Amino acid sequence: MGAAEAGTVHTARHGSVAVLTLRREAKLNALSTRLEAELLAAVRSEPVRTSRAVVITGGLTVFSAGADVGELREMTPEAIAAYYRASGAVYEEVADLEQPVVAAIAGHCLGGGLELALAADIRVADATARLGLPEVGLGILPSSGGITRLVRAVGPARTRDLVLRARRMPVAEAREWGLLSEVTPEGAHMERALQIAGELAEHPPLAVSVTKQVIAAATDAPRESALLLERLAYAALNRTG
């Protein structure tokens, strides 16, 4: 296994799987602009580009307690717009990766942490995980794709319940809502995420990449357009396997 570490994000390879670990433990992996910038660099790095699946985790006890709100509070509207073009773009880059992405979650997965997890394709959490978007209670709102992805995942009614009440959801409820693919015993989330990522990495990468794009497009497309897209993608892939 090769590894390289820089500041608040650790990048490693487990065979064909790239593992990105948030490492800002003293702040519960709060997503500062520095951490986001390092995560963005990691997402664009050679170990990730050459991988066939990606795991994102915060480690064994916490995923992320959310954005570093104090840092963002000091920004002007112009600075916030610039932020979304810079390190704030990391959430969309994770979602747009060609490879399948698995989020391995324990403990706090709140605010920007949940937005990051929602950008993954598959989410695995252990029994200690708590998910939530508490921003409204702080006088702001989720703005890194959280509301957009949550509405598409669970519908507007459940999105209102979770976001407007700014509550924290236990894993059993998150699994029932479909936000989590699996729930593991405490401390077993990383092992299971690596197993799933390893399974995904065995599939032909072009088929995985195209299928990810079709699923994303079909979320918003009319039924007829989604069906056509499926058929065109099948025709394009038919002789590549």
Name the DSSP class of 6. E
CA dist 53 and 200 (Å) reads: 7
Nearest one of 165, 52, 55 to 121, comparing CA atoms:
55
Q: Which amino acid is at 183?
A: V
Q: Which of 135, 176, 182, 202 is catalytic?
A: 135
CA dist 86 and 144 (Å) reads: 12
Question: Could you confirm whether 115 is annotated as catalytic?
Answer: yes
**Separation in Å, CA 85 to CA 91, 93, 145:** 11, 11, 14
SS3 14: strand
Q: Please list, in sequence order, all residues whose beta carbon lies within 8 angstroms of the beta carbon of residue 105, skipping any fewer than 6 positions away.
A: 57, 58, 63, 117, 123, 124, 125, 126, 129, 131, 180, 189
Q: Which residue has the tokens 């000091």?
A: 74
Q: Which of 25, 38, 74, 115 is catalytic?
A: 115
Pairing of β 101-105 and β 122-126: parallel
Question: Could you confirm whether 135 is annotated as catalytic?
Answer: yes
Residues marked as catalytic: 115, 135
